């Protein structure tokens, strides 16, 4: 289709969720520079337009699609856009973050809060993965990269729904890595430590960010473009074909368990 350019991801087709800002935008930009065609999805339509307008790439290699990851039909539409526009799906980067506004302790968390976190966490990741599976299996090739958090292993007071959701993403990743590996599909999970806007929604969040930063050996948060996006490129590449079922910390040396 004339879409291939030089790069580690030349000729590959990627879906990137959460692509309007933060890590998602940095990953979408890096994938484009590495030669992939990208379907960029996010609920923020203006952010997607800005992403497309600022890229110095062939417009034929980028498609933007507004998507509420809590809506299964919207998820289906993103995958269909990739298939109709580019004919295949090789890379699925599940980066969209949702359900993070309610930083609540376990006692305060309601079923509604937990459901919101689950829907926009492991459930939407699972649905994107399922809808990409037939196309990946047909080509006997796929790279799935999910995003979770070290927080799911800590038990931080005030983050119960968030941590439940992120723990679910890690479990999902491990399961898919076993079930889908025979189809040439690897599934890995990135655990980044970056300062996201979600921390600033509440005083609890700001306090947690201060404590976390002091706990990182390099004493700072990571950067989405320079330090997170290259990891997503590697995991999406052919070179990572023997990396499967891993929780990859991009965390400045922050560790919970040996």
Cα dihedral across residues 138, 43, 38, 95: positive or negative: negative
User: Helix, strand, coil: what percent of the chain each, to 5?
Assistant: 50, 15, 35
User: From edge to edge, which strands make up the β-sheet containing 185-192?
Assistant: 62-66, 37-42, 13-17, 91-94, 142-147, 185-192, 247-250
- Give Dmax (Cα) for the chain: 56
Whether the Cβ atoms of residue 137 and residue 185 lie closer than 8 Å to each other: yes
Distance of alpha carbon 135 from alpha carbon 80, whole angstroms = 10
Residue 3 vs residues 141, 197, 252: alpha-carbon distances, Å: 19, 35, 36
Angle subtended at Cα 39 by Cα 148 and Cα 12, rounded to the nearest 5 degrees: 90
Q: 148: how many CB neighbours lie within 10 A of its CB?
A: 26
Residue 65 vs residues 83, 127, 134: alpha-carbon distances, Å: 13, 17, 21
Q: Bridge partners of 14? A: 38, 91
- Residue 141 known to be catalytic: no
Catalytic position from the list 141, 162, 183, 199: 162
| Strands (DSSP E) found in 128-216 | 142-147, 185-192
> Catalytic residue numbers?
162
């Amino acid at each position: 289709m004339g879409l291939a350019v030089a790069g580690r991801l030349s000729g590959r087709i990627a879906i990137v969720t959460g692509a309007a800002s933060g890590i998602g935008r940095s990953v979408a930009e890096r994938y484009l520079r590495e030669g992939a065609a990208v379907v960029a999805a996010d609920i923020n339509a203006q952010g997607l337009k800005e992403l497309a307008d600022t890229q110095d790439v062939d417009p034929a290699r980028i498609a933007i699609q507004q998507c509420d990851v809590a809506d299964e039909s919207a998820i289906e539409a993103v995958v269909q856009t990739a298939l109709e526009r580019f004919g295949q799906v090789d890379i699925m980067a599940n980066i969209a973050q949702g359900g993070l506004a309610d930083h609540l302790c376990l006692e305060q968390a309601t079923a509604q809060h937990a459901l919101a976190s689950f829907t926009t966490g492991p459930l939407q990741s699972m649905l994107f993965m399922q809808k990409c599976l037939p196309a990946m299996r047909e080509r006997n090739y796929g790279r799935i990269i999910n995003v979770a958090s070290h927080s799911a292993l800590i038990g931080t007071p005030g983050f119960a729904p968030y941590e439940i959701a992120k723990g679910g993403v890690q479990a999902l990743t491990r399961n898919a890595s076993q079930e889908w590996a025979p189809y040439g599909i690897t599934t890995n999970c990135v655990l980044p430590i970056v300062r996201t806007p979600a921390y600033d929604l509440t005083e609890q969040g700001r306090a947690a960010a201060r404590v976390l930063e002091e706990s990182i050996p390099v004493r700072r948060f990571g950067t989405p473009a320079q330090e997170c996006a290259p990891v997503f490129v590697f995991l999406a590449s052919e070179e990572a074909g023997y990396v499967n079922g891993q929780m990859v910390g991009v965390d400045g040396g922050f560790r919970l368990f040996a």
